[in-house]
Amino acid sequence: MSFTTLGLSDPILKAVAEEGYTTPTPIQLQAIPAVMAGKDVMAAAQTGTGKTAAFTLPILDKLSKRGSVQANQVRALILTPTRELAAQIAESVDTYGKHLRLRSTVVFGGVNINPQMMKLRKGVDILVATPGRLLDLYRQNAVNFRQVEVLVLDEADRMLDMGFIHDIRKILALLPKNRQNLMFSATFSEDIRNLAKGMVNNPVEISVTPRNTAVELVEHWICPADKKQKTPLLIHLIKENNWSQALVFTRTKHGANKLTRSLEQSGINAAAIHGNKSQGARTKALADFKKGTVRFLIATDIAARGLDIDLLPQVVNFDLPNVPEDYVHRIGRTGRAGASGQAISLVSADEFQQLSDIERLLKQILTRKFIDGFEPTHDLPESNLDRRPFIPKKPNPQNRPNLGHRDGQRSRTSSHGSKPKWSQSKAKAKR
């Protein structure tokens, strides 16, 4: 099956061919005809499945065929949780729409609002936005939603995790009732379905498995280690295996900064990316990593979620995530586009509960490898696979990020990046 059979216009097919895409991915095959037919869509799809093109291509097609945008208006609104994702989607819109005469822009917080207001003045056909900044712009009369024909809610599950539900509901209330709605989410929990009820009409439901799942393309194993030994162990692994590049996850922003400093002190070129970094620093770190001038990118979960970094051979979990699903998201960064990858987790004895939760979700016990000279003195207990079905935990609204940290911070961390008390006591109780 090729792109030409989907009914997209020639300028779009040309842009797609220039990107080197020959075959639509499963989500594109299902979503593109549905969106072109004007249907609402609810799609369970993660980053890496080609979902951005799945909604962007038919939207471009639709908008280019008729109508024009008026001052301060928007015709297609794409909402996404993080600044990096917003920038990435906007880049895709530009790429796929480069042979069309449509206007698009991206708005997110953390940067000066004035240039964004200027860009919105003439109106844009496609606006990619994070919710908080979009509402700020609306309140300042920089944008109006009267002309919105299509709404995309991307990474809806993460939006709820990050506490954006109220902003989303406010935005929904401002949009014209008669519009097309596309909702993309990695998972469809009860909360997402509740949100969907008020948003989509008789949707086409699509579910695709990621092109690379934890269990398929990525070779992943754990390395038991004492907490204090994790930094020297990582440095040893980098040097011993001559790793050229890796994305390294830490649980907290403080941990990311500390590890970055230690690597740099050992002559290993690294940069941190997390919600406390300025937008400029985040964009630069990501661009340098993509160019290869930064070899090790040290990231917290939200900052890294959805980042499309091609051909990443190596992911390291310096800390295990608190939320088991994040393990799958993290290691999904490697082995993209069919290439095989490797993911290693450094696990200390106090992370046994997180390890057990991940193994329960994956329905497999992860292989353990010990590294000579780094055998832990605090033993990691033996895994005993819990075969009860995995039930995702609901995010606790009490732990919603505060307004100063709407982006880039885990919903279950405090503003200092530490684990909230409830989850520590809960973890203890389980042990």
Binding status of residue 180 toward ligand AMP by CB under 6 A: no
Binding status of residue 82 toward ligand AMP by CB under 6 A: no
As a whole number of angstroms, the distance between CA 90 and CA 87 comes to: 5
Task: Evaluate whether 57 touches 96 at the Cβ level (below 8 Å).
Answer: yes
Binding status of residue 12 toward ligand AMP by CB under 6 A: no
Task: Evaluate whether 168 touches 198 at the Cβ level (below 8 Å).
Answer: no
Rule CB under 6 A: choose which of 50, 131, 163, 275 binds ligand AMP: 50
Stretch that binds ligand AMP, among 42-50, 96-104, 281-289, 388-396 (CB under 6 A): 42-50
Binding status of residue 49 toward ligand AMP by CB under 6 A: yes
How many residues make up the chain in this entry? 431
Binding status of residue 52 toward ligand AMP by CB under 6 A: yes
Binding status of residue 104 toward ligand AMP by CB under 6 A: no
Instruction: For residue 223, give the H/E element and its range.
Output: strand 218-224
Residues 6+ apart with CB under 8 A from 371: 223, 225, 233, 236, 237
Cβ 321 to ligand AMP, closest distance in Å? 20
Give 93 or 259: the residue with its C-beta nearer to ligand AMP.
93
Rule CB under 6 A: choose which of 8, 35, 44, 48 binds ligand AMP: 48
Binding status of residue 25 toward ligand AMP by CB under 6 A: yes
Binding status of residue 21 toward ligand AMP by CB under 6 A: yes
Q: Under rule CB under 6 A, how many of the chain's residues touch ligand AMP?
A: 13
Binding status of residue 30 toward ligand AMP by CB under 6 A: no
Stretch that binds ligand AMP, among 24-32, 108-116, 155-163, 417-425 (CB under 6 A): 24-32
As a whole number of angstroms, the distance between CA 404 and CA 166 comes to: 16
Cβ 337 to ligand AMP, closest distance in Å? 6
First CA to last CA distance, the chain? 51
Angle at CA of residue 104, ends 98 and 110, nearest 5°? 125
Amino acid (1-letter code) at residue 232: P
As a whole number of angstroms, the distance between CA 247 and CA 343 comes to: 10
Beta strands in 254-393 (DSSP E): 270-273, 296-299, 314-317, 341-347
Instruction: For residue 135, give the H/E element and its range.
Output: helix 131-139
Give 18 or 386: the residue with its C-beta nearer to ligand AMP.
18
Cβ 157 to ligand AMP, closest distance in Å? 15
User: Which phi and psi angles does 134 have, rounded to 5°?
Assistant: -60, -45
Stretch that binds ligand AMP, among 20-28, 105-113, 154-162, 354-362 (CB under 6 A): 20-28
As a whole number of angstroms, the distance between CA 42 and CA 426 comes to: 34
CA torsion sign for 182, 185, 188, 191 is: negative
As a whole number of angstroms, the distance between CA 56 and CA 93 comes to: 6
Contacting ligand AMP within 290-349 (CB under 6 A): 308
User: Could you give the count of Cα atoms lying within 13 Å of 386 in the half-sphere of its Cβ?
Assistant: 15
Cβ 50 to ligand AMP, closest distance in Å? 3
Cβ 211 to ligand AMP, closest distance in Å? 8
Binding status of residue 51 toward ligand AMP by CB under 6 A: yes
Cβ 338 to ligand AMP, closest distance in Å? 9
Binding status of residue 84 toward ligand AMP by CB under 6 A: no
As a whole number of angstroms, the distance between CA 42 and CA 75 comes to: 20
Stretch that binds ligand AMP, among 19-27, 216-224, 246-254, 368-376 (CB under 6 A): 19-27
Contacting ligand AMP within 217-256 (CB under 6 A): none
Rule CB under 6 A: choose which of 8, 15, 24, 171 binds ligand AMP: 24
Give 52 or 116: the residue with its C-beta nearer to ligand AMP.
52
Nearest to 245 by CA among 284, 288, 305: 288
Rule CB under 6 A: choose which of 31, 32, 42, 47 binds ligand AMP: 47
Catalog residues that contact ligand AMP under the rule CB under 6 A: 21, 23-25, 28, 47-53, 308
